[in-house]
Structure 1
Amino acid sequence: MANFKLTISDIKGKSMSKELKDNDANPLLGLQLGNETDATIVGLNGKLKLTGGSDKSGVPMRNDIHGAARKYVLLSKGVGLQSTETGQRVRKLMRGNTVSEEIYQVNCKFDGELPVEASAEDATESTEEKSKDKKE
């Protein structure tokens, strides 16, 4: 019963969000950050590389913590830590690098370009043109 919100970015910098529920989300369970998976689970042709994520309470995943557990880690820089002074270290709660059922959001990188979808403005223009044609 895993539910994931997938944020997919492409090589051009565009991103999109997809919601995966139940059986569609099962291929992601057990994968670690940095692993690649097939993009057909979201309806794309190519590969998805897992780059990060967070759990249901907003705790970020970190690549150098093994497993799926939440741990307090002493950090001086990197993922999950805002700017610090030189030499300052902070103990923060982090999530491991393995995707489990507690994960809510998974960030991915797509190896190609995301398909271009028609914007909302184009859709309204086309409906206005159709209504004008019907009136004439």
Structure 2
Amino acid sequence: MADLKVVLSDPKTGKAYNITATGAMAGSLIGKKVGQQMSADALGFAGYTIELTGATDRTGIPARKDLPGAGKRRLLLSESTGFHETYDGERRRKTIRCAEITPDFVQVNAKVIEYGEKTLEQYFAPAEPEAAAE
């Protein structure tokens, strides 16, 4: 199974949190599409709903939510996801990934849509060291 890095953004606080998804956590993301909403219970966030906002593969090729299916495509692009023009009217042929999340992806970006009972800061707070017994 593929390992994925999930970057979870919290629109309320403006913070982003990094999650390493392995095994079943990564499997819950495989087959989903960029732009799709899903429950974050499989990632360990009870009551949360997230939206997948983007993804990249190991070579840095971004995914676009308007391309159906899985795999790569070479598209003639103007200013959009995957290409930023250097002069007005510039177009260039670039390789872009399709919207479906596959094991070829390395990073998946997501944002919180609905919040659960616990805050994200409580999930990601560093564990307090136990007091040394004397």
TM score, norm. by length of structure 2: 0.82
Aligned to 1:116: 121
Where does structure 2 lack aligned partners over 5 or more consecutive residues? none
Aligned to 2:9: 9
Aligned to 2:109: 107
Q: Is the 8 A contact 2:78 2:84 kept in 1?
A: no
Q: How far 1:30 moved relative to its partner?
A: 0.8
| Bigger Rg over Cα | 1
Aligned to 2:55: 53
1:15-26 equivalence runs, <5 A: 15-26=16-27
Tell me how far apart the structure 2 counterparts of residues 98 and 76 of structure 1 sit (CA, whole Å): 22
Percent sequence identity over matched residues?
A: 30
Q: Is the 8 A contact 2:50 2:114 kept in 1?
A: no
Tell me how far apart the structure 2 counterparts of residues 86 and 106 of structure 1 sit (CA, whole Å): 31
Tell me how far apart the structure 2 counterparts of residues 9 and 83 of structure 1 sit (CA, whole Å): 27
In terms of mean alpha carbon deviation, does 1-10 or 82-91 score higher? 82-91
Q: Is the 8 A contact 1:77 1:84 kept in 2?
A: no
Where does structure 1 lack aligned partners over 5 or more consecutive residues? none
Of residues 83, 86, 95, the one that matches 1:84 is 86
In the alignment of these two chains, the number of paired residues is 126
* Structure 1 counterpart of 2:7, one-letter code: T
Structure 2 CA distance for partners of 1:25 and 1:82, relative to 1, 3 Å: same
Q: Is the 8 A contact 1:76 1:84 kept in 2?
A: no
Between structures 1 and 2, the one with greater helix share: 1
Tell me how far apart the structure 2 counterparts of residues 65 and 79 of structure 1 sit (CA, whole Å): 11
Q: How far 1:52 moved relative to its partner?
A: 0.1
Secondary structure, in 3 states, of the residue corresponding to 1:111?
A: strand
Secondary structure, in 3 states, of the residue corresponding to 1:25?
A: helix
Superposition RMSD in Å: 2.3
Q: Is the 8 A contact 2:51 2:110 kept in 1?
A: yes
